[in-house]
Amino acid sequence: MYKVDYHIHTEFSGDSKENIESMIERAIELGLAEIAITDHLEYDLLYIDWDKWTLNLDIYKAKILSLKKKYKDKIVIRFGIEIGVQPQTKDYLEAIVDKYDFDFVIASNHSIDKIDLASGILHEGRTRYEIQNLYFETVLKNIETYDKFNVFGHLDYVTRYGGSKFDEMDLEEHRDIIIKILETLISKGKGLEINTSGYRYGENRVYPRVEILKKYFELGGKIITIGSDAHVKEDVFKDLDRAYEILNELGINYITTFDKMKPILKKIN
């Protein structure tokens, strides 16, 4: 099996303190062939500590490139990033992607109208349907706006936040906009990730749910990455066996890796 983890955070992310080499060494210990380090970059948000999220890209890039060389005989390391996209930050973030020559870029919708979903502020005065619909409308606007990314991160993870009042989803309520999102991704040559962190956050599922993944492939989608969204070394490759099982159930025998943002299809077996 070609084992990878394409969503890993380290000490360079505002929400991780894990030493980057400990993450790499854990991946080697687990027998992974390839990983992507995808630390967070957020921009133009309210109510946050900016020092935590202004990723020092020069130091970050130099560190990853040096580790690529150090571990080149043991594992393939990709220079990645997870950008928190908002419609008004397109020019800023795309200029960064152009400048730093990443191998792999995840675009994720962490915030709406400059407010982090995790804060709970957006949930105030809204029903479950309203917050979920607002999220999907924002996702659609973002993927229509942005071009310089490879996959969209943890699509439908909106159910993670807001407590039990917001933790379920009726897919039929959002069917039309989800299909539009998938069609737009496919038309732009962009992919999805299977993100296994939902098992660790008590939702007992991947993001996005299997029904959405199935629809993505039915509509002609081809690009799929898998990632643990690890922020500590113990979570590297966590539950990714489930991602491989899901792909097998869907009749998919490959995953996508990236080099200089160019997709490479790798057979799982």
pLDDT (average), residues 249-256: 98
Determine the pLDDT at residue 114.
Answer: 94
CB 136 within 8 A of CB 173: no
**Which CATH code for domain 4-267?**
3.20.20.140
- Mean pLDDT (the chain) is 96
- Is the per-residue pLDDT at 90 higher than 80? yes
pLDDT (average), residues 16-39: 98
Question: Residues of the chain with pLDDT > 70: what percent?
Answer: 99
Confidence class for position 1, pLDDT limits 50, 70, 90: very high
The alpha carbons of the chain give a radius of gyration, in whole angstroms, of 17
Locate the DSSP E strands across 196-245: 224-227
Q: Which bin fits 261, alpha (ψ -120 to 50), beta or left (φ > 0)?
A: left
Determine the pLDDT at residue 54.
Answer: 81
Tens digit of each residue's pLDDT (9 = 90 or more) over 173-206: 999 999 999 999 999 999 999 999 999 999 999 9
Determine the pLDDT at residue 49.
Answer: 73
CB 229 within 8 A of CB 154: yes
Within 8 A by CB and 6+ apart from 127, the residues are none
Mapping DSSP onto H, E and C, the string for 77-145 reads: EEEEEEEECCHHHHHHHHHHHHHHCCCEEEEECCEECCEEHHHCHHHCCCCHHHHHHHHHHHHHHHHHH
Domain residue ranges of the chain, discontinuous segments joined by +: 4-267
pLDDT (average), residues 57-63: 97
Total-model pTM = 0.97
CB 198 within 8 A of CB 206: yes
CB 212 within 8 A of CB 182: yes
Determine the pLDDT at residue 52.
Answer: 75
Confidence class for position 50, pLDDT limits 50, 70, 90: low
> Which residues are registered as beta bridge partners of 255?
266
